[in-house]
Structure 1
């Protein structure tokens, strides 16, 4: 009897974890559900506290959106959390605009989404 109870508890724990992960899409699920530009814009708006309307592809992250070095780190962490994408510190040098950051995230997701 105790064995069955442990199995039921383990199954419930797995179901709870799966439900929690399903509530926050990540990786390919986020790409399919919302698209990268929407997800990146949401992260930038949240971290930088700027209106979503400011998230034009040509908007410069440092100059127009006023990102500093600390907020760049926060953006990388939020993209990792929300999309499951690992970006290294070089993103700041490569992605000077919102559009370039979108492209970088798409490039990081592409290999996983093609599996």
Structure 2
């Protein structure tokens, strides 16, 4: 199930006509709808798609942690835009830092 389908289901189930302006600016509070919690974008997409290269910039892991610690629970890699980019061990990019800290089995497989 992709994001379009999920959005449609949530809109219909929770009677939300427009999800684009659902959260006040800089809000981190989830919205409850029955047993569903709708999270602000930053929880799953800390960077908008047009800033996807930030995930791959060397030396950005500590900056990411300082900005998004306890605010973001995933990193979307925008594969259709980034498939040509390499993630290098030791680069301390956001992607490499996340792999090093949360994916100890696959981290050694990075180039």
TM-score range, shorter chain: under 0.3
**Which structure features the higher share of helix residues?**
1
TM-score by length of 2: 0.26
**Which structure features the higher share of strand residues?**
2
TM-score by length of 1: 0.25
- Pair member with larger Rg: 1
